[in-house]
Every structure is written in C-alpha cells, then in structure tokens.
Amino acid sequence: MSNGDATRRRAILDAIDADGPDFDAWQDRALAAEARQAVLADRSLRAYRDEALALARGLLRVRAAVDADIAADGAAARIAAALAEQLRARPMRRLNRLAVAAILLAAVGLGGLFDLTVLSPAGRPGNDVVALDAFNIGLAEEATP
C-alpha cells in the first residue's frame, strides 16, 4: 500500500467516525463515492464500516428506548409545565419595558448634554440637522406655510 493509499484510507476511516457509516449522509460526495469503492475492495475497511453500522443501529435502539422511557415517565411534560408556570409567574414584563424606556430617556438627555457642553461650547455655532419630511420628500422648512 502506497503512502497516498494509506492517507486516503485514513481519510475514509476518519470520515466514517465523524459522519457515520451512511455514505449518503456525507457532505463530501467525492470522498463518499471513493469510500463506496474502497469498501468493496478492502475487507478490513468493510469490516470497520460494518462495525460502525452495528454501533449506529444499536445507538438508535437505545435512543428509542430512552425516548420511550422519558415519554412514559412524563418528565418532559413536567418540565414544560414548570417552565410555563415560571413564565406566567413573572409580572416583571411591564417593569422591564419601563426600565428600557427610562434608560433610553437618560441616554437622550446625556447625549443632548454632551452636545451642548463638549461638541458646541458657548460662542461656537451648533451643528444644524436637516430633517426630511417623510410625506413630501423635501426639507421640512419648505413644507410649512
């Protein structure tokens, strides 16, 4: 076996470990096609994939059994009910919105104070802001009579 073959074989083994033994699920389609051919040509690679398939099937059976136990026990329903109760018991929603509004007002006030004291101190002209009228798409001063 050449060094390139050993490298490709290692890449296939690593892909089986990382992506599973189902070649159709692999992201690298070229490597999956190469792995299909290599499994047919190399008995040890075929045995490795068969072991990975058996492990995957066993894990699926165990997962199904655990899921059935959880569903029969009702643990998920109890957790969901407890979380829903905690969400209903939180009267802080309005208070949180008021806190956000207060923080925004404080930020606007501090921004205005910063503009008056630092950006345009006494004796220097202030920054003029041009406001566009949303309905006339022009200067607001032109729209007023």
Euclidean distance between CA atoms 95 and 110, whole angstroms: 22
Backbone angles phi, psi at 76, to 5 degrees: -65, -40
Q: What is the pLDDT of residues 50-107, one digit of tens each?
A: 999 999 999 999 999 988 888 888 877 888 888 888 777 666 566 677 888 899 999 9
Q: pTM of the entire structure?
A: 0.49
Domain count, the chain: 2
Task: Please check whether residues 56 and 99 belong to one and the same domain.
Answer: no
Element (H, E) at 114: helix 93-114
Q: What is the pLDDT of residues 105-127, one digit of tens each?
A: 999 888 888 877 777 666 665 55
Q: List, in sequence order, every residue forming a beta bridge with 133; answer none if it has no partner.
A: 138
Can you give the residue range of the structural domain that contains 119? 93-143
Could you count the other beta carbons within 10 Å of the beta carbon of residue 12?
A: 23
Q: How many CA atoms within 13 Å lie on the side-chain side of 51?
A: 9
Task: Please check whether residues 112 and 73 belong to one and the same domain.
Answer: no
The answer to the question of residue 88 being in a domain is no
Task: Please check whether residues 14 and 38 belong to one and the same domain.
Answer: yes
